[in-house]
Chains A and B, each alone.
Chain A
Amino acid sequence: MSQFLDILLKIWDYFATNILTQPAYMIGFIVLLGYILERKPLYESIAGFLKAVIGYMILMVGSGGLVSSFRPILTGLKTRFNLTATVIDPYFGQNAVTDGLLKTFGRTFGDVMLLLLFAFIFNILLVRFQKYTKLRAVFTTGNVQVQQAATAFWLLLFCFPKMGRIEVLLVMGVILGLYWAVGSNLTIRYTQDLTDGGGFAIAHQQVFGIAFVSWLSDRFKAHEIKSNKKARRLEDIQLPGFLKIFNENMVATGILMLFFFGIIMLVLGRPYFNEVYVSSKGASGLVPGGSFLFYILTTSLSFAVNLAILQLGVRTFVGELTESFTGISDKLLPGSVPGIDVAATFAFGEPNAVTIGFLFGALGQFLAIGALLVFHSPTIIIAGFIPLFFDNAAFGIYANKRAGAKAAMLLPFCSGLIQVFGAALISSWVGLSKFGGYLGMFDWDTVWPIFTVLMKFLGIFGIIAVVVILVVIPQLEYRHDPKNYFLMVTDYEQYKKNMAEKKALK
C-alpha cells in the first residue's frame, strides 16, 4: 500500500514540476482537457495542444524582448531621478506579473493558468444555476482572461502573502469567476440596445465601466429632455482623414512608444546610454560615437516589435483556448449569451464615436500624465495603446448611442483621467509599478483597487464583502424588471415590444 502511495506521489510530483508550474504546458493541458471533453478526434486534440504550447513559447520570446529593452531605461530613471515608469497596457501588465511573481512572492506563473481554469469553471457554474444567481453571460475572451488572472493573482497575494497555494486559487477563483459573470452580465442590456439584439455581452476589461458610462449617459439624456435642449449627434461631424492611421495597432503603438520613450531617453541623455554599453559589455546601450537619434528610434520601435511578437503568441494559444472553452460552455449552458471582445461593438453605431472616444480619452490621459509630472509623483505612467483605444472608444460608442455627442466627448475624457490616476495609485501601492507595467484598463483602475483596499484592510471580512457585493448586483438588476430580465436574451423582439409599451405608458 505504502509503495503504491509512493508511486502516486512520484507521478503527481512529476506532473507538478513539468506541467503545473510551466505555463506553456499548463495552457496546452487545459486545451487538451477541453478537447477531450468535447470528444474531438485525437489528432485534433494533439494539434490543439501543440499550438497552445508553441503559442505560449512565442509569447515568452516577445516577453523576454520587452523586459530586456525596458530594463536600461527603468534602471536609468530609478538611479537618476528615483522615478518608476509603468506602461499601462494589458500585455505589459501580464509581463510585469511574470517578471515579478517569483521574486516577490515565490510563486510560479503556472498557478495563474490554474486560477484561470478555476475562475472559468466557476463562471460556468454560476450561469448554469442562473435561476438563483440571475447571471446570463459567460466570459470567453481568452487573452483577457489570462491578463486578468495574472493581475488578480498578484492583487490577492499582495493582500494575503501568507495564504496557501490551494486557498489562493480557491478564493481568487471565486472572486474572479464572479467578476467575470457579474461584469459581463451588467453589459447585456446596453449591448442588446446598441446591437439591436446582437445576442452577445461584453467580456473585456471595462465591463463595469460600460455599465457606468451607459447609466451616466441616460442621466445626461434625461437632463437634456428636461431642459429642452436638442442633443447634437456625432454623425454630423467630419473628422480629418489622417486619424485613420490609429486603426492599425502597430502604427499607433509605434507612435506612442516613440513619443513617450523618446522624451524619457532624451532626458536620460546620451552619456547614460554610453555607460550602459560599457557596463553591459556591448549587449545593450549606445556604441560610443553612434547616432543617438537612431538609437532612440530603434529602441522605441523595438517595443512595438516585441509587443507584436507577444500578441502573435497570445493569438496562437488563445484561438485554441477559446475554441475549447466555447465548446464546453455551449454544451452546458442554454439561455445564456457569450461575453466577447469589446471591439465587436465598434461596427455598431457611429464610426466617429470610436475616434472621438479615443481622442478625448487620450486628451484626459495626457493631461493626467502631465499632472503626475508636475506634482512629482514617484510613478510615471506611460500610455499604452490598448487602454487608450479600447476602453475609451467603447465608452464613446455607448455614450453616443444613448445621449449624443456631448456625453461621447466628456465621459471618455473623464475615463482617461481616471485610468492614469487609478493605475498610478494601485500599481505603486501593490508593487507592480517597479516591474514596468500594469494592466491599466478601466475596471482595474476603479473596481479592483476598491476590492484590494477592502481585502487588505479587512482581511477575511474584506473577501466576504467583495463576494457579497458581486452576488447582490445581478439580484438588483433582476429586481429592477423581473418580467423582461431573461426575455432580452431569449426573445429580443418580444422584449422590444414590451419596452415600447412601457414607454407609451409613461
Chain B
Amino acid sequence: MNILVSCANGSGTSLMMMKSVQKAFKQLDLPITKIEHTSLAEGKSTARSYDMVFTPSNFVDMFDEAKAKGVMVIGVKNVMSDKEIMQHVREETDLVK
C-alpha cells in the first residue's frame, strides 16, 4: 500500500494522522510500503500515484479527481483516533478480508 496523508498545511495535522494510520494498519496487519504526509496543494497534484489518501473529512472533495482515477480517498474526522481509521478501512475498502 502506498499511502498519502494530506492536510491544509502539511505539517501538524497530517503528521499526527500519519502516526494514527500507521498504528491502525499495524493492528489490521496490513503492510505499508510507503507513507508520506503533505499539504493539500502538493497532495492534490501527487495523489494519483498513491493507492490511498487519508485527509480530514472536510477536505475530501479536494481529491475528487484522484478518486475518479481509482485512488481510495478516506475522510477522517478525528486525526488522533486509530480506531476510527480502522473502522473506515473495514467499511470503505475491501482490504480486510
Contact = CB atoms under 8 A, between A and B. Distances in A.
A351 B58 contact: yes
A347 B77 CA distance: 5
Contacts of A311: 9-11, 39
Contacts of A248: 39-41, 44, 62
A318 B9 contact: no
Contacts of B39: 248-250, 311
Contacts of A341: 7, 9, 11-13, 16
A247 B75 contact: no
Interface string B60-91: 01100000000000011111110000000000
Contacts of B78: 195, 198-199, 344, 347-348
A440 B49 CA distance: 37
Contacts of A195: 78
A144 B39 CA distance: 16
Interface residues of B, number: 28
Chain B interface secondary structure, helix, strand, loop or mixed? mixed
A346 B13 CA distance: 10
Nearest to B43: A248
Contacts of B16: 338, 340-341, 344
B79 A347 contact: yes
Contact of B13 (A199, A247, A314, A340): A340
A336 interface: no
Interface residues of A, number: 35
B32 to A, nearest CB: 16
A249 B9 contact: yes
Contact of A249 (B12, B37, B40, B57): B40
Interface string A327-356: 000000000001011111011100100100
Which 5 A-B pairs have CB atoms at the shortest separation, nearest pair first?
A341-B12, A347-B56, A248-B41, A250-B41, A351-B58
Given A250-B41, A318-B11, 15 more contacts: A198-B78, A198-B80, A199-B78, A200-B80, A248-B41, A249-B8, A249-B40, A250-B39, A342-B12, A343-B56, A344-B12, A344-B79, A346-B58, A351-B58, A354-B58
Interface of B: 7-13, 15-16, 19, 37, 39-41, 44, 56-59, 61-62, 75-81
Interface of A: 141, 143-144, 195, 198-200, 204, 244, 247-251, 311, 314-315, 318-319, 322, 326, 338, 340-344, 346-348, 351, 354, 386, 389-390
